[in-house]
Structure 1
Amino acid sequence: MIRYILQRLAGMIVVMFLVVTIVFVIVRVTPGDPAAVMLGPDATAQDVAQLRTRLGLDQSIAVQYVFYIGQLLKGDLGQSIFLNMPVTSALLDRAEPTFFLTIFSLAIASLIALPIGIYAAYRRGSFVDQAAMMVAMLAASIPSFWLGLILMQFFAVRLNIFPVSGYGGPGASFGERMYHLTLPAFALGLVSSALILRFTRASMLDVLGDDYIRTARAKGLIERRVVLKHALKNALIPILTVLGLTAAVLISGAVVTETVFGLPGVGNLVVSAVLRRDYPVIQGALLVIAALYVLINFAIDMLYLLVDPRVRY
């Protein structure tokens, strides 16, 4: 088991190094000069050159890359050009809405998909099964931002049940903030539930026809115990995998949804940084998102050890 964990940690380091390199190159080769954008159209060439020198943009790509790697090894993501503050502080200030939006959306997706997927597999071929698959295909084809706009128009504008946008005032309580996240979380959760539902159904179908399930039924165990204890426990590995991937996708997919609902999260910060050509913020946000992807996958791998003892060997 220790060897397995060490292999996974080594893989994480290699992946993060590749991500750092790719992000650095992509951001640098994108057309546009951040110094010129920052100073505006009325700036002279001398002003732009002075700012480029102060920001280190006049150095070669190789020198900038070595300097950036040195910063990362010290835990420094750089200084935001427009916000005039450390990138780490900027990301931490915006992390709360994105974090709770991701957790809220994943909870909604799981509550919708897991029971329906299990029951659809148990009633394979029935009307419930066919209806569930049809709804899953429909939900998978709907963009989250479009669904968010529809929910906003109906529940916020017409019925005035939920707020149109925002995250509450500076002194808002936790309940009020969750109230503001209801519509965007439901928009993300409903779309994400389609993939979880399909994987849950497929995984349950794989195990419901196995010999040990028939043996459990032959022993006289009640159906609920057979399905939830014997079948679901052995179908958890694919379900855990898709839950982890969904959580990672929700973190990055919140960019558009946060913009639509005006949430002051990391996604909104990234959009603003792209428009302003704020290199450090773009790089820092992408690296943090990539690191979360890697950490979530590592956590799922560790859960495999608990769910299926065979993984340890």
Structure 2
Amino acid sequence: MLRAALNRLIGMLTVMAIVVTIVFIIVRVTPGDPAAVMLGPDANAADIQALRQRLGLDGSIIQQFISYIGGILRGDLGQSIFLGQPVTTALWMRAEPTFFLTIFSLSIATIIALPIGVASAYWRGSVFDQVMTAVAMFAASVPSFWLGLIFIQTFAVGLGWFPTSGYGGPYSSLGDRLYHLILPATTLGIVSSALIMRFTRASMLDVLNDDYVRTARSKGMSEWRVVVRHALKNALIPILTVVGLTAALLISGAIVTETVFALPGVGNLIVSAVLRRDYPVIQGALLIVAGLYVLVNFLIDMLYLLVDPRVRY
């Protein structure tokens, strides 16, 4: 198990090295002077030169790359031009809404998709299976921003059950802030549940007719135990894979939903940085999101070893 973990860790570090290199290249291939692009057309030569020195763009490419790697190893992702604060600070201040939104959305998606996927596979070809398959296809095709607007109009404006936007005031309790996340989390959860449900159904169909399932039934075990303890347990590998990918996509894909619900999260920060041409924030956010994406996949790989010992061999 330790050897498998080390192999996956080496792969994770390799991917992050590639990501760091790509992020470094992005700014350097920007048409014209990146510092001039960041400051806009009204900047004078002195301001541009000062920014070039602050960003380390006045040295050779090798010097810039070494300096860039050194900053990352120190935890220094640069200074935000518009916010006037370190990128790590800006991202950390916006991390809480995105973190809780991702956790709640993934929980809702799993709670919806897992039992429905198992039931659809168990009653394959029934009316329930056909209806749920159609619902999953519809949910997968619905844009999250449209569903979010429908929820705002129905449950926030029409019924007044939830706030329309925001994340509570600066002195709001954690419960009040989480209350503001119910609608956006439900929006992302419903959209994300479609993929998990379809993979759960397909994975269960692969194992329900296997010999060990028929053997468990022949021993007189209850259907609940056969389906949950035997079939579902052996179908978890692809399900865990899609759940992990969904979690990673939610981290990077909450930008639209955070914008619709005006959540002060990382996604909203990235949108603002793009509009303001705040390249240090964009680079830093890209690195953090890529790192989280790789970390989630690494944790899923480790879960494989716990769920199915055969993976170790």
TM range (shorter): over 0.9
Check whether the contact 1:37–1:276 (CA below 8 A) recurs between aligned residues.
Answer: no
**Structure 2 Cα separation of the partners of residues 12 and 138 of structure 1:** 35
Identity %: 74
Report what 1:241 is aligned to.
Answer: 241
* In 2, Cα distance between equivalents of 1:42 and 1:289: 32
Distance across 2 between alignment mates of 1:285 and 1:295: 15
For 2:215, give the aligned amino acid: T
* Counterpart in the other structure of 2:84: 84
> Where do 1:47-62 residues align within 5 Å?
47-62=47-62
Question: SS where residue 94 of structure 2 aligns?
Answer: helix
> Which residue number in structure 1 is paired with residue 141 of structure 2?
141
The alignment partner of 2:180 has SS state of helix
Q: Which residue of 1 aligns with 2:290?
A: 290
State the partner residue of 2:161: 161
CA distance in 1 between partners of 2:158 and 2:27 (Å): 42
SS of the residue corresponding to residue 283 of structure 1 reads: helix
**Cα RMSD between the aligned structures?**
1.7
Alignment length, in residue pairs?
313
Contact 1:34/1:276 (CA < 8 Å) preserved in 2?
Answer: no
1:51-82 per-position Cα deviation (integer Å, ceiling 9, x unaligned): 33343334444432221011112222222222
Partner residue in 2 for 1:73: 73
Letter in 2 for 1:86: P
Query: Are the counterparts in 2 of residues 33 and 277 from structure 1 also a CA contact under 8 Å?
Result: no
For structure 1, the 5+ residue unaligned runs are: none
Partner of 1:172: 172
Name the aligned partner's letter for residue 253 of structure 1. G
Q: What is the TM-score normalised by the length of structure 2?
A: 0.95
Q: 1:82–1:89: structure 2 CA closer, same or farther, 3 Å change rule?
A: same
Aligned counterpart, 2:305 = 305
How far did 1:161 drift? 1.6
Give the CA deviation at 1:43.
3.4
Structure 2 counterpart SS, 1:84: coil
Task: Measure the CA separation in 2 of the matches of 1:22 and 1:58.
Answer: 20
Length-normalised TM-score, structure 1: 0.95
> Which string of whole-angstrom CA distances, capped at 9 and with x for unpartnered residues, describes residues 131-174 of structure 1?
11101111111111121111112211222221111000111112
Counterpart for residue 259 of structure 1: 259
Aligned twin of 2:202: 202
Q: Give the Cα separation in 2 of the matches to 1:6 and 1:79.
A: 34
Measured in 2, the distance between the counterparts of 1:8 and 1:45 equals: 48
Q: Which runs of 5+ in 2 are unaligned?
A: none
